[in-house]
Amino acid sequence: MKNLFIRGPIRIGKSTRLRNIVNDSNLNIVGFSGQRIIDGKNIIKGYQARFMKNQKMPHVDVLHTSDLEDIFIFEKRKNGDILEKIFEDINNALNEESFDLIVLDEVGGFELKSKKAFSLLCDILKRDIPCVGTLKSYVNFNMGIDYEDEYKDFENLIISNGKILDVDKNNLEIIDKELGKLLKFYRKLL
């Protein structure tokens, strides 16, 4: 199995679990991490995407400041070009260097609805490199916009060489064990 994605509702702990286990793995990673931009009252104001190359995954939440970069959603304003650029950066890094693991945190509507971003994302996932990530739950995709075809295509691409674990509050420890077991396996292959 090459791919392992965690899928579940908002704020269940998908990204936090992935970050904790990946950061402890000492694997050479490339990918992206989405961060929630929050205000002083812990209210989500938007999302920032961070390109990662040979570094630890950042914290899931980031406090809003005027100097934040790579914001692709903020107070209902959207900029999909940022995700396309990050996926181009990931593909370029994969063409130039060797990595142990690809991390895609979190794949959501923007990534699947933009034809260019979706194509770049599929190119990344088709590489012969293990990939872990988080996937927004199907329920969260159905917030007034139809993503069903793109979602199913991406889901099929993941499970063609891996699996998707559905997380809920009752199986968090099982998810941690599955992720940890897979990353230990990847380290043994190196």
pLDDT score recorded for residue 144: 45
132, 103 Cβ separation under 8 angstroms:
yes
65 assigned to some structural domain: no
Q: What CATH number did the domain enclosing 27 receive?
A: 3.40.50.300
- The count of structural domains within the chain is 1
What is the Cα 176 distance to its own chain's centre?
16
- Asked whether residue 97 is domain-assigned, the answer is yes
Ranges of the chain with pLDDT below 50: 143-144
Q: Cα separation of 26 and 63, whole Å?
A: 27
Q: Determine the pLDDT at residue 12.
A: 86
In a domain, 72, yes or no: no
Residue 141: the pLDDT is 61
- Domain span at residue 170 reads 3-33+49-57+78-189
| pTM of the full structure | 0.90
Is residue 153 a part of any domain in this protein? yes
For residue 69, tell me if it sits in a domain: no
